[in-house]
Amino acid sequence: MSDDFKRVESHACPMSTCAAPAGSPCRTGKGKVTIQYHTARFRLVPKLVKALNEPTPAVRKPGSVWTELPRPKGVGTEPVGHVRLGYARASTARQSLDSQLDSLTEGGATRIFSEKISTRATRRPELDEAVKLAGELRASGVRVTLVVHEHKRLGRGIELATLAEELKASDVGLHFLTGELQGSHDPSGVVFTVLAALSGMEREYIRDRTLEGHESARKRGKTIGGAGVTDDHMLSMALHLREQEMSLRGIASRLVITNGQKKGQHPSPATVMRMLREHDEQTTAPLAS
């Protein structure tokens, strides 16, 4: 059995609806042990940051009545030491990084990651490495701050907000040397909160526009992707997993398509969302009439 669950449980769950202390599994709103750890919690572990889900092991008896277990030794101790990691980026090969590198060195960065890559790039290897190292150092008990010349070097809008969420999950601070957000920002501070809210608003906007597009297509008699892959058994399982407060992505990873060209594959989160929404609409329709 993997011991990843021990790494997850070395952190208290940051979900307000759970708030399980370190050493105990996550719990549902109904006081049961969840079948998987909450995303916000298992992503505090660097090696699990990009995982879709982290199942609660049998030893924790998922589905049973939740009880608090003894906390591991060392939990709650103050961070030892402080590491400042720097990140510099230029959009084109012609642009110089010298001024950024100089300011990061003066700003106390002991190691600097730099790259020349467009903000439009979906993946920035050096930034990924900086965030990964920051998470690993923080998990070892060291206080860590990512130092950047200004926030635009990290991205704009949803990109910056998404990165802030990832840093907050790892309890890594941010420090901007100049610009509109100049200064140090603690993961529990207002800047992280605003950026996280921005990220959530953007996702809600995209989701609502997608649903509006689907509804418009249905009125015109068009079929939305995912038709034919769901069945009653899949719906029953999805409803059960939703009761356990599992995310759409987590639910989709537990379901398997049993017919058609996609037989044996997992349905997409969008398909699961559509299936559950249609079930809810059919369930509430008789009550409204």
Which residues are catalytically annotated?
A: 91
| Side chain identity at residue 105, one-letter code | T
What's the CA gap between 134 and 143, in Å, rounded? 9
Torsion angle of the four alpha carbons 165, 168, 253, 61, in this order, in degrees rounded to the nearest 10: -150
- Indicate the pairing of strand 173-176 with strand 183-185: antiparallel
CA distance linking residue 73 with residue 10, whole number of Å: 9
Find where tokens 């995303």 sit: 39
In this structure, what DSSP letter does residue 60 have? G
Tokens at residue 200, please?
A: 């959530």
How many Å apart are CA 282 and CA 224, to the nearest integer?
18
3-state secondary structure of 188: coil
Question: In 99-165, at which residue ranges do the beta strands (DSSP E only) sit?
Answer: 111-116, 143-148
Question: Token pair of 31, please?
Answer: 């006081």
CA 209 to the chain's CA centroid: 22
CB 67 within 8 A of CB 46: no
Rounded Cα–Cα distance for residues 168 and 189 (Å): 10
